[in-house]
Amino acid sequence: MKQIRHGFREDFLWGGATAANQLEGAWDQDGRGPSTDDVLTGGTATEPRYLTYCGSNGVTGKISMTDLHDLPDGASFAVLPDVWYPNHEGIDFYHHYKEDIALFAEMGFKAYRMSVAWSRIFPNGDELTPNEKGLAFYDAVFDECRKQGIEPIVTISHYEMPLGLVNKWGAWRDRRTIDCYLRYAEVLFRRYKGKVKYWITFNEINSMNVTGWLGAGVTSCDPTVMLPAAHYQLVASAKAVKLAHEIDPENKLGCMVAISQAVVYPADCNPANVHKAWERAQKCYFFTDVQARGYYPSYQLCRYEREGIKIDLTEQDKADLSRGTVDFISFSYYRSTTVSIDPNAPWVAPDSPLKETLGVKNPYLKATDWGWAIDPMGLRIALDQVYDRYQKPILIAENGLGAIDTRQPDGSVNDDYRIDYLKKHIEAMKDAVVHDGVDLMGFTMWGPIDLISASTGEMRKRYGFIYVDKLDNDTGTLKRSRKKSFYWYKKVIESNGEVL
Ligand code: BGP
C-alpha cells in the first residue's frame, strides 16, 4: 500500500468526473454519428425521458426509457425535427474544453475522469476505419490535461453508443457488438498510448439490472433480455482488459458499478428482510465478481437457472473472462438503498417504474431534492465491503450532490449544502482508509462543472463547483463561473484532504 498523508495516499487522484454525452454538445459536428443519447428527450423529476422513433411509414412516436417495449415493426430510433434533445448541446465542452480544463487545474485536479463518445470515433459503430476528426479532438483534450498536470481517466463507454448499432441489430443484444467495441477500444489504446494510462471499460455496468437502454442500447427492462446482453458486455470488457495490457503493460484497467445497489439495508432485523438485502446486493456484486475474479459466481448461475435466464456463455467466453480481470475497482456512490418484503412499506417513489430499485424510505436518513438518501456512512460501508471482497485498489469514480443552485445578484453561488455533502463523504472515505485499511487510489466527484443530468435530462439538477449559465429552456450564455465550493475543493486538494 502507498504512503498515506492525512488519510490519503501521497499520489491520491483528486479530481472530477464527467461523461461525453452529458457535456460535449456538438452532437453532429466533425463526423460524429448519432448516439443512443441523442434520441432522448428532456424529462423532469416526475416526467420521464422519452426515446423518439420513426416508423417505416413515416409515423413518429416516443417511448419511455424506463418502461420500454419493442418498437412498432420496421421503426427505428431517430432524431426528429422540432423535438428538444438536451444532450445535443450539453454545455458545449467541445468548444470550451481548454477553459474548462484550466478551471479544473485551478482547483488543483490531479485527475479528470471523462469518456470518449464512441460515435465520434465510429459514427455508426460498425465501420472499419475510425473518424480522424473525432480522434484529433480527444488528442487535444488529453494534451490539454497533460499540459495542466492532470491525469486523464477514460471511460470507454459511458451510457451511450452509436445509434447505428441499435437500429442495425439491437446493440448489445447481439454478439457482433463485442467486435465493434473491441475495434473501438483498440483504436483508443493504440492512439492514446502514453497519454492515457487509466481506463474504465463500462460506466455503471450494473444499470443492466434496471434498464437496458442507458448502458447498452437495449430496448427492454426484462432481465431475460438485459442479462444476456450484459454477458456480451462482460466478455467485451474482459477482452478489452487483456488487449490494453498487451498494447501497453503500463495500462491500468478498471470496472465500474453503481454501488448504491450494493449498499443495501434491511428495513428491520426480520431475517427475511436481511436476506432480501443480501440478494439485492449480489445483483450488483455479480458484475464486479465477474470482472475482478474472472468467472460467474455460483449464486448468479443458480439465479439464471431458477429464473429461466439464458446467457450465451461459451467455453471461449469462460477463457476470455478469466484472462481479463481488472486492475482496480471503481464505483459511483450517491446513496444507499433500503429494502423490505412488506408491500405496504413506505416506498421512496411509489409511482415510479423504478420503485423496486429505489427501495423504501430510511427513517434515519435525509434525502436530496430528487429523493436520493444522503448517507456518508454508506460510502464507508461500500469501501470496506468492496476492498474486503477483492483486495484491489479502489477509485471512487463518482459522488456528489445534485441540487438546485440559486445565483445571487452578483452572480455568486453559495452552495454550502454541496460543501457539507462532500465534506461528510470525504470524512467517511478517510475513516475507511485510516481505520479500516482500504487502499483508496482516488476520488473523482461527479460533475465538477454543471452538466446535463443522465436520469432526467435536466440542467437545473446541478453538481458542479463551476456554474454554467444555461437553463432548461436552452437559454443562457454558457458562461462559466466559480461557486463557493470551487474554492473549498481547491483547499481540500491542496491539503490532501486535511482541510475539509
Ligand atoms: C450516474 C451516472 C452519471 C451521472 C450521475 C448522476 O449514475 O454514471 O452519468 O449522471 O449518475 O445522475 P443524474 O445525472 O441522473 O443526477
pLDDT tens-place string over residues 301-336: 999 999 999 999 999 999 999 999 999 999 999 999
Residue 339 has pLDDT above 90, yes or no: yes
| Residues 130/131/134/135 CA torsion (nearest 10 deg) | 50
Kindly report which listed range (5-9, 318-322, 384-388, 469-473) carries the lowest average pLDDT score. 5-9
Grid cell in block for residue 290:
465477474
How do residues 206-229 score in pLDDT, each as one tens digit? 999 999 999 999 998 999 999 999
Grid cell in block for residue 148:
495542466
For residue 190, being part of any structural domain is answered with yes
Q: How many domains does the chain have?
A: 1
DSSP state of 162: B
Position 65 scores a pLDDT of 79
Query: How would you write 8-62 as a 3-class SS string?
Result: EECCCEEEEECCHHHHCCCCCCCCCCCEHHHHECCCCCCCCCEEEEECCCCCEEE
For residue 69, being part of any structural domain is answered with no
Residue 1 has pLDDT above 60, yes or no: no
User: Under a CB-based contact definition with an 8 Å cutoff, are residues 43 and 62 in contact?
Assistant: no
How far away, in angstroms, is 454 Cα from ligand 1 center? 5
Read off φ and ψ for residue 387, nearest 5 degrees.
-70, -40
Position 474 scores a pLDDT of 81
- On average, the pLDDT of the chain sits at 95
For residue 179, being part of any structural domain is answered with yes
Residue 3 has pLDDT above 70, yes or no: no
Among 21, 354, 455, 462, the mutation site with the greatest number of ligand 1 atoms within 8 A of its Cβ is: 455
DSSP state of 148: T
Position 2 scores a pLDDT of 59
Ligand 1 site residues (CB inside 6 A) read 19, 22, 159, 203-204, 258, 332, 398, 402, 446, 453-456, 461
For residue 290, being part of any structural domain is answered with yes
pLDDT confidence bin for 4, thresholds 50/70/90:
low
Residue whose CA lies nearest to ligand 1 atom number 4? 454
Domain that holds residue 228: 4-25+89-494
How do residues 117-156 score in pLDDT, each as one tens digit? 999 999 999 999 999 999 999 999 999 999 999 999 999 9
Residues belonging to the active site: 204, 398
Judged on CB neighbours under 10 Å (0-12, 13-18, 19+), 129 is: exposed
For residue 45, being part of any structural domain is answered with no
For residue 61, being part of any structural domain is answered with no
How far away, in angstroms, is 16 Cα from ligand 1 center? 13
Residue 346 has pLDDT above 80, yes or no: yes
For residue 73, being part of any structural domain is answered with no
Among 36, 203, 332, the mutation site with the greatest number of ligand 1 atoms within 8 A of its Cβ is: 332
Position 390 scores a pLDDT of 98
- For the chain, how are helix, strand and coil distributed in percent, rounded to 5? 40, 15, 45
Judged on CB neighbours under 10 Å (0-12, 13-18, 19+), 197 is: middle
Query: What CATH number does the domain containing 121 carry?
Result: 3.20.20.80
Position 413 scores a pLDDT of 98
**Beta-bridge partners for 113:** 17, 153
For residue 38, being part of any structural domain is answered with no
ipTM of the assembly? 0.99
Question: Which atom number of ligand 1 is nearest to the Cα of residue 453?
Answer: 14
Question: Which atom number of ligand 1 is nearest to the Cα of residue 400?
Answer: 6
